[in-house]
């Protein structure tokens, strides 16, 4: 019996090795590309990326702005610097600017109990008298757990669920989804950092109550319009059909077998991609619908690479916006100072975060990956927008892309 099992195992091993040897594999040629454009084009093919938009600022001046690939594969609509798409969690620091603008107007206190501004109470079960504050929400130290559920998304439209109703259902003991306080961490407010999309939603609700207007209007009137960000909005309703870049999901597939894995199956997806490296033609690329999220403050903004370049240039110019400023000098400094004791976190600013010597934010959601980073001392900024769901392989590719940008476009 044992000999039979060993024989079967040997046959399977030989078959697997034979399959590995004959299955078509994706050529990896990007690192050999001499030009940056050649590198980007090869990277798109290697990673089955429908489209990329890249903008680079050096010494406060635009040195590169270009789209690669397609905003929509079916119509062959090209990706351009003016193509708007969802920017996911880059929305959070834009929310942070709205909050600091309201503080400049005397409507908010960053260190006050947020219950002063909400139509329902948010009381951490472990608070022991500690209030939750806006500063804690903006630094992910509020004690509110991370939470999102794609089942809450509204396909093809903005969510009809009011933000406060959604938050109350999760965070108030009277809420239908409170679940015995499961959406709070064991840590008391202000004592530990844990990234929280739900906490960003609460910050957005505070902004709307203090500002007396929807977050979309506050951002439009006080950030997007002054900076000339013509393709930016928090609302899907502001975009006609075919305007936004189409979101895509990419499946890693084993040739000849029909076995595929989406990013929703990360281990299988990674193993297929890493071990067998399927050719582009053997990967399945499927459109993912645009959607509205009831917790839209955490990642609902749509914008183009050109628009985000305008924001980056403003940040590199101390918040200049036309003849005025986005923020007072004090509020601007508040936004970009390190907010937490080093024993909690040494990279967290007001919704912004440091990474590899730059300050910024990245984002990902179904059908998108985005990155926005800047260096005020050098006057540099890097913006990358991609219209596919990231997996481990594409995240590694984006790290290589950033390194190549620094080498080819930002070297001094």
Residues near 129 by beta carbon (within 8 Å), at least 6 away in sequence: none
25 is a domain residue: no
Structural domain span for residue 304: 85-241+291-408
Residues near 244 by beta carbon (within 8 Å), at least 6 away in sequence: 71, 83, 84, 85, 86, 236, 290, 302
187 is a domain residue: yes
pLDDT computed for residue 88 by the predictor: 98
- Number of domain units in the chain: 1
pLDDT computed for residue 278 by the predictor: 82
**How far is C-alpha 302 from the geometric centre of its chain's CA atoms?**
11
- For position 361, which CATH number holds? 3.40.710.10
pLDDT average per 10 residues of sequence, the chain (412 residues): 52 41 60 94 95 99 98 98 99 99 98 97 89 98 95 97 98 93 94 98 99 99 98 98 97 83 82 79 90 98 99 98 95 98 98 98 98 99 98 94 97 92
Residues near 196 by beta carbon (within 8 Å), at least 6 away in sequence: 137, 140, 142, 144, 145, 146, 147
pLDDT computed for residue 303 by the predictor: 99
117 is a domain residue: yes
Partner residues linked to 285 by β-bridges: 250
The helix-helix angle for 91-104 and 197-211 (nearest 10°) equals 30
376 is a domain residue: yes
C-alpha R_g of the chain: 23
Helix (H, G, I), strand (E, B) or coil at 300: coil
377 is a domain residue: yes
pLDDT computed for residue 1 by the predictor: 61
The token pair at 263 is: 């990013």
pLDDT computed for residue 17 by the predictor: 43
266 is a domain residue: no
**How far is C-alpha 285 from the geometric centre of its chain's CA atoms?**
20
The token pair at 221 is: 């009137």
pLDDT computed for residue 363 by the predictor: 98
352 is a domain residue: yes
pLDDT computed for residue 13 by the predictor: 40
* pTM value surpassing 0.75: yes
Rounded-to-integer distance, Cα 332 and Cα 112, Å = 19
58 is a domain residue: no
Query: Half-sphere exposure (CA, 13 Å, Cβ side) for 277?
Result: 10
Measured in degrees and rounded to the nearest 5, phi and psi for residue 127 equal -65, -35
Q: Which helix (H) or strand (E) holds 348?
A: none
């Amino acid at each position: 019996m044992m000999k039979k099992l060993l024989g079967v195992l040997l046959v399977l091993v030989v078959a697997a090795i034979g399959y590995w040897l004959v299955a078509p594999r994706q050529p990896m040629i990007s690192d050999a590309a001499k030009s940056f454009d050649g590198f980007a084009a090869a990277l798109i093919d290697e990673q089955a990326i429908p489209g990329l938009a890249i903008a680079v600022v050096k010494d406060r001046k635009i040195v590169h702005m270009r789209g690669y690939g397609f905003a929509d594969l079916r119509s062959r609509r090209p990706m351009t610097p003016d193509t708007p798409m969802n920017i996911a969690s880059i929305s959070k620091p834009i929310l942070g600017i709205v909050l600091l603008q309201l503080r400049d107007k005397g409507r908010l206190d960053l260190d006050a109990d947020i219950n002063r501004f909400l139509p329902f109470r948010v009381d951490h079960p472990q608070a022991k008298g500690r209030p939750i504050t806006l500063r804690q929400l903006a630094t992910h130290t509020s004690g509110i757990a991370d939470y999102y559920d794609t089942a809450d998304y509204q396909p093809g439209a903005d969510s009809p669920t009011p933000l406060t109703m959604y938050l109350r259902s999760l965070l108030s003991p009277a809420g239908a989804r409170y679940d015995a306080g499961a959406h709070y961490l064991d840590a008391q407010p202000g004592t530990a950092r844990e990234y929280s999309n739900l906490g960003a939603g609460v910050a957005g609700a505070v902004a709307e109550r203090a500002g007396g207007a929807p977050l979309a209007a506050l951002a439009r009137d006080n950030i997007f319009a002054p900076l000339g960000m013509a393709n930016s909005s928090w609302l899907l309703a502001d975009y006609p059909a075919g305007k936004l870049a189409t979101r895509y999901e990419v499946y890693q597939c084993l040739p000849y077998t029909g076995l595929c894995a989406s990013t929703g199956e990360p281990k299988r997806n990674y193993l297929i991609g890493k071990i067998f490296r399927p050719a582009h033609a053997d990967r399945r690329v499927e459109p993912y619908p645009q959607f509205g999220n009831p917790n839209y403050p955490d990642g609902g903004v749509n914008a183009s690479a050109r628009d985000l370049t305008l924001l980056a240039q403003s940040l590199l110019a101390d918040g200049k916006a036309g003849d005025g400023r986005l923020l007072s000098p004090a509020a601007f400094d508040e936004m970009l100072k390190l907010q937490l004791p080093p024993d909690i976190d040494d990279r967290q600013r007001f919704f912004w975060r440091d990474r590899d010597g730059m300050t910024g934010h990245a984002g990902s959601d179904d059908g998108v990956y985005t990155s926005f980073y800047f260096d005020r001392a050098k006057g540099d900024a890097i913006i990358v927008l991609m219209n596919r769901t990231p997996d481990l392989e594409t995240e590694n590719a984006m790290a290589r892309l950033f390194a190549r940008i620094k080498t080819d476009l930002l070297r001094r």
